[in-house]
Amino acid sequence: MALSPAIQECELLIKAFSGFGVDEQSMISLLTKLHPDQRQSFRKSCPRFFSHDDRLFEKWERDHIKQLEIEFSRFNKAVVLWTMHPWERDARFAYEIIHKDARFTYEIIHKGSPLSILIEIACTRSSEELLGARKAYHSLFKHSIEEDVAYDVKEDSRSLLVALVSSYRYEGLDVNTEIAKSEAKTLGKAIKEANGKKLVENEDVIRILSTRSKFQLMATFSHYKEIHGKDIDEDLEDDFLQATVQCIYSPPTYFSKVLEVALNNDVDEITKEALTRVIVTRADVDMKEIKEAYQKIYGIPLTEKIERETRGNFKDFLLALAAKGGY
């Protein structure tokens, strides 16, 4: 049985609003051609968006209005973030998650923990880039990042996060093999002797992860694997420590996992926002490596997944940024 024009139009509108962003051209083509009687028929045929009010009119559902406002804003937000200085961008990311809700308790890094953004900023930026973000934070908000993390974050990970955002790592290639072997044993002992204690609060673990150069830490992680037969993140039950190690050891793998979860309509809005954040912040850095890691892990090109899950100008903008990394 053929669908009525109003129901057909409703289904087309649902499709235009499905996924991330909005298919602006389809929406404009559909809505502008409807005269008042057709719009009324359309509203009655679209219970997904409208409900009948006792005062005899069809009203937008509040949650749907809020969601559409978010979807319409995705493109604008991506453009603003892309044109922003990277220092300011990181400072604003940090401020937003530190102050959005001082009472938050998020535990799963790859399922939307806002605190994972602090780890990304601290562990995937160069020392100069992190210092620049801290300078921008001073200028914009009249506080330091470490000051606000120490005061507002109520998690057990607070000491680790303060140490990470305060760090200024050596970036040379020199590695001290004896220190790497010694600290691999120190980490192994801390993990083995945790016995229910929170490893994220261990002073030696915090010191090693927040002060050593990335090349030094990679040597330490390599010796850890030689000693224990597996990667250190496999032995870390704490999500913040896992994220810290992954961001230091292999940012493309870490960001691939973040993107995979973000490209899922069933997750919360904080998690979805990671799609814009990762594409915008990594387009000029390691997008080629992220795309290679994504395809290796999930068996599908990242650009194909973005093409499938996003809509309109937002989709076109993300694809253009993703293309900057080649491949």
Residue 22 belongs to a domain with what CATH number? 1.10.220.10
Residue 33 has pLDDT above 70, yes or no: yes
Question: Is the same domain home to 155 and 199?
Answer: no
Question: Is the same domain home to 150 and 272?
Answer: yes
Q: List, for residues 224-244, the tens digit of each pLDDT value.
A: 999 999 999 999 988 899 999
Is 21 known to sit in a ligand binding site?
Answer: yes
Check residues 6 and 192 and name the one with the higher pLDDT.
192
Domain tally, the chain: 3
Question: Is the same domain home to 88 and 13?
Answer: no
Q: List, for residues 264-276, the tens digit of each pLDDT value.
A: 988 888 889 999 9
Buried/exposed 115-128: b ≥16 CB within 10 Å, e otherwise: bbbbbbbbbbbeee
State residue 28's pLDDT score. 83
The verdict on residue 67 lying in a domain is: no
Residue among 172, 74, 75, 155 at smallest CA distance from 118: 155
Kindly list the distances between the CA atom of residue 239 and the CA atoms of 111, 233, 234, 268, 313, in Å, as whole numbers in the listed order: 11, 9, 11, 18, 35
Residue 31 has pLDDT above 90, yes or no: no
Question: Is the same domain home to 140 and 152?
Answer: yes
Residue 112 has pLDDT above 60, yes or no: no
Average pLDDT over residues 154-158: 88
The verdict on residue 315 lying in a domain is: yes
Residues in Cβ contact with 179 at an 8 Å cutoff, skipping those fewer than 6 apart: 216, 220
Is 72 known to sit in a ligand binding site?
Answer: no
State residue 326's pLDDT score. 54
Average of per-residue pLDDT values in the chain: 88
Domain coverage including residue 42? 5-60
The pTM assigned to this predicted structure is 0.89
Question: Is the same domain home to 105 and 241?
Answer: no
Question: Is the same domain home to 234 and 270?
Answer: no
State residue 210's pLDDT score. 98
Q: Is 34 exposed, middle or buried (0-12, 13-18, 19+ CB in 10 A)?
A: middle
Per-residue pLDDT band for 194 (boundaries 50, 70, 90) equals confident
State residue 113's pLDDT score. 55
What are 160's two structure tokens? Answer: 């680790």
φ and ψ of 118, to 5 deg: -65, -40
Average pLDDT over residues 193-205: 89
Question: Is the same domain home to 42 and 81?
Answer: no
Q: Would you mind telling me the total number of residues written for the chain in this entry?
A: 327
Which of these ranges, 34-38, 73-77, 126-130, 209-213, has the smallest mean pLDDT? 34-38
Rounded distance between C-alpha atoms, residue 277 and residue 107, angstroms: 20
Is 309 known to sit in a ligand binding site?
Answer: yes
Question: Is the same domain home to 143 and 277?
Answer: yes
Average pLDDT over residues 58-66: 80
Per-residue pLDDT band for 325 (boundaries 50, 70, 90) equals low
